[in-house]
Amino acid sequence: MVNQELLELLRCPACVKTSPGMLEQVREVWLVCTDCGRKYPIVEDIPVMLISEGDRWKSTPNADLPVPPPRPQ
């Protein structure tokens, strides 16, 4: 699980220049951007904040996100 202080600092790398890019933790191992809906996995307690990874999961409903998340491709 991501430390709450870190979660407050992290922003969606795709949105941060044009909007707040706030992230919320979903299913304990995913960070979901409240602006664009990109989903970033948390692998071994490390958020994978690659835009390509967020794009990969963007259309997946939160309830269908795999737990634990797979390693990035």
How does the average pLDDT of the chain come out, rounded?
Answer: 94
Two structure tokens written together for 67: 């737990």
In a domain, 68, yes or no: no
Identity of residue 1: M
pTM: 0.93
**Per-residue pLDDT tens digits for 39-65:** 999 999 999 999 999 999 999 999 999
In a domain, 67, yes or no: no
Q: Is the dihedral of CA 65, 66, 67, 69 positive or negative?
A: negative
Could you tell me the residue range of the domain that residue 30 belongs to?
4-61
In a domain, 27, yes or no: yes
Q: How many domains does the chain have?
A: 1
In a domain, 9, yes or no: yes
In a domain, 72, yes or no: no
**Per-residue pLDDT tens digits for 13-43:** 999 999 999 999 999 999 999 999 999 999 9
Two structure tokens written together for 49: 């904040």
Using an 8 Å Cβ cutoff, are 46 and 71 in contact? Answer: no
